[in-house]
Structure 1
Amino acid sequence: MRRSLIAIVLALAGLVLCGQGVYIHAKALLAQVLLQRAFAETIATGHAIKPWSWADTWPVARIEIRRLHASAIVLAGSSGQALAFGPGHVELTPDAGERGVAIYSAHRDTHFRFLKDVLIGDEIVITRNDGKVFRFRADGSSVVRFDAAGIDALSDGTELVLATCWPFDAVTPGPMRYLLHATLIEDAAAKAQPP
């Protein structure tokens, strides 16, 4: 009798934990559908559209890595609430395509799980909420402590950093971060125009 009771309690605990894991992933997927709609409407109207009425953030960009068929809508800010629904644009960093380093962060097990498959040389396409499209080339990665990234967001280049927790397969939080560094690709059309 006691063994049966222990087995039932353990089974229920396992179901609760599995349910929580499924809930997190389902919420992330549904949020991206609502964010896609809000992002499309933002581009069409030129006004920031919230994905749901109680949202405290709005879409600011879309990240695409076409080789991986990976795409995610980026939200304004990188608070824990925003990161629950999608990647966040880290505060006080420039917009993608502007001078400096634009930094987007997301969770390693949902929206940025594809980062482990990005190869040096892969193209990262960023579409901003003003409709402008910028292409970046992945040119390096690093693993650093969360408080020692050493990124100067106001540097002279035009760069992008995608940041997530490290290691990718960890199940608990830790102090290390994986940074994917990318540089703006000069467009042929822009090069052909006289200064």
Structure 2
Amino acid sequence: MRLDARTFYLAEPRVRRQRRYVPQPYKARYLGPLPGVRHVPGIKYVLRSVPTVVIRYRPLDLRVPVVERPGREGRTATAPRRFVWRRAATTTAAVTLLAAGVVTMGHAMRFDADWTASSTRLTRMWDEGATAADAPAFGAPDDCSQLPPSRIARADAPHAVLHVPRTGLRTAVLEGADRATLDRAVGHLPDSRWPDQGGTTVLEGHDITYFNELDRLRPGDTVEVQGACRTWTYEVTGTQVVKSGHPVRHSEKPELKLVTCWPIGALFPSDERYVVSARLVREAATADRAAAPAPAAVWPRVVPELPPGTRAEDFAPERTGMPLGRLSVSRELDEAYRQGPHPLQVERASVRVVGAALRALAEDRPEWWHRLAPGVPLPAEFTPGTRIGWQDRAAVEVEGYGERPTGARLTARVELAGRSHLLTVRTRIDRAPDGAGAVARIKAWHLEPLAR
């Protein structure tokens, strides 16, 4: 899943939601919120009248409509018009869900188009000395003391490079920990410090891209943060799993925190975070850039094979109901490939082509099937209108060797005709007809009945 730094670093208060209605002989009058109280949904406000009526703040309008009903012997009781806030709540929920869907789909499309070469491009910018453009603002280009990571001015330029010898990770570090930044590289939490400033440095990354092997680190392993002129070497002291919202305590001693989602490789939302702690053991001059490891190659963008007139998002897990489990990458692939955004792209394309195939079987569209799975016979277990039930989350493994991904394998337990089966689907990656990218298609389809 994608990591949201704010949920890790800042704990959100919980508010008890309740509503009390107290009939009174006087009509309540709204005189505005109490002085110094912020308008936060879920917080209770007081209508200042005699006697007092306590109500809950409503997102659309704090001034709840009040109607008068005649009581006994001329007394007046107040009662909220329930249909008003129910209709308002329904409208608010519908608009919120629609907006969330549009934002999610738009972000997914943008993420697909941008992630393939972004990290490699940033690393190459670093190796070619792109940060030298900041030198005029701080001093001469050869004055290393004027180019610490904390003073890199360009937002699109890497501030440092993170190198983890144990896993072979080498990637750029950008300022910021928002989603757009973490889609491109490892991010530096703005509320923490850079190594040249002393104290606690917090770096965050996605557990399904750059930090997908972070759990391999053990106490005693080293982690390097390479600046333009200085390199800080840290020694791992321990790891822990904490809940989202757990605060990070600043320390005056130089230390490093690497943060990602837990469990590693989760393709589903998680409220736990994996934290690697390390202490500074050495600071030295940065070696010649030319001696640094060469950046990874740029792999072609992978898209799913689709039926005519459809889009990739039509077969997203949210649309097909496919529950996703964890993503793994074959150890036969190079370290540089495994710890980057491209395996996730192969997973997305493979999941969508499988979703399209399941829809083709359920709607009896053999022409779709032969396009999605050329050379693969139609499964005999499926009849028109047959739909499967998912009994667990689907696990996805990206396969390949060296720097060449060959496809992915999806496995899950499903229910078909009242019986459990093990579904195994393998995809392959073919070169696109235009030669500008790659296309994921189904290579093999196997449905094995499980013992009762």
Query: TM-score, length-normalised on structure 2?
Result: 0.33
Name the structure, 1 or 2, with higher relative contact order (CA <8 Å, separation 6+): 1
Alignment of 1:10-21 (within 5 A): none
Structure 1 stretches lacking a partner, 5+ long: 1-19, 51-55, 190-195
Unaligned runs of 5+ residues in structure 2 are 1-107, 136-151, 286-452
1:42 pairs with 124, 130, 149, which one? 130
The equivalent of 1:88 in structure 2 is 187
* Whole-Å separation in 2 of the counterparts to 1:90 and 1:169: 22
Seen in structure 2, the aligned counterparts of structure 1 residues 45 and 58 have a Cα distance that, compared at 3 Å, is: closer
Contact 1:28 1:86 in 2 (8 A): no
Where does residue 215 of structure 2 map in the other structure? 116
Q: Is 1:134 aligned with 2:232? A: yes
Match of 2:118 in 1: 31
Change (3 A) 1:71 1:188: closer
Q: Residue 67 of structure 1: SS of its match in structure 2?
A: coil
Identity, in percent, stands at 25
User: 8 Å contact 1:65–1:124 — kept in the other structure?
Assistant: yes
Q: Which residue of 2 aligns with 1:99?
A: 198
Q: Which residue of 2 aligns with 1:175?
A: 271
- In structure 2, give the amino acid aligned to 1:81: A
Q: Secondary structure at the match of 2:124?
A: helix
Shift in CA distance, 110/169, structure 1 to aligned 2, threshold 3 Å:
closer
Structure number, greater radius of gyration: 2
- Counting matched residue pairs gives 160
Deviations 1:56-103 (A, max 9, x none): 643111110123211111111011110111111001211024321100
CA 1:187 to 1:169, structure 2 compared with 1: closer, same or farther past 3 Å?
closer
- Superposition RMSD on alpha carbons, in Å? 2.6
Report if the CA contact (8 A) 1:127-1:133 is conserved.
Answer: yes
Query: Deviation per CA, 1:136-164, whole angstroms, max 9, x where unpaired?
Result: 0011111111201x3223x1210000000
Secondary structure of 1:113's match?
coil
For the structure 1 residues 132 and 43, does the alpha-carbon distance in structure 2 shift closer, same or farther, using more than 3 Å as the test?
farther
Give distance in 1, aligned partners of 2:181 and 2:237: 27
Alpha-carbon contact 1:78-1:90 (below 8 Å) kept? yes
8 Å CA contact 1:28, 1:110 repeated in 2: no
Q: What is residue 157 of structure 1 aligned with on the other side?
A: 253
**Maintained 8 Å contact 2:206/2:261:** yes
**TM-score, normalised on structure 1?**
0.72
Q: 1:118 to 1:97 in 2, by over 3 A?
A: farther
Point out the structure with the larger helix share: 1
Task: Give CA deviations for 1:101-130 in whole Å, capped at 9, x if unaligned.
Answer: 1001010000111202112111101012x3
User: In 1, are the aligned partners of 2:189 and 2:204 still within 8 Å (CA)?
Assistant: yes
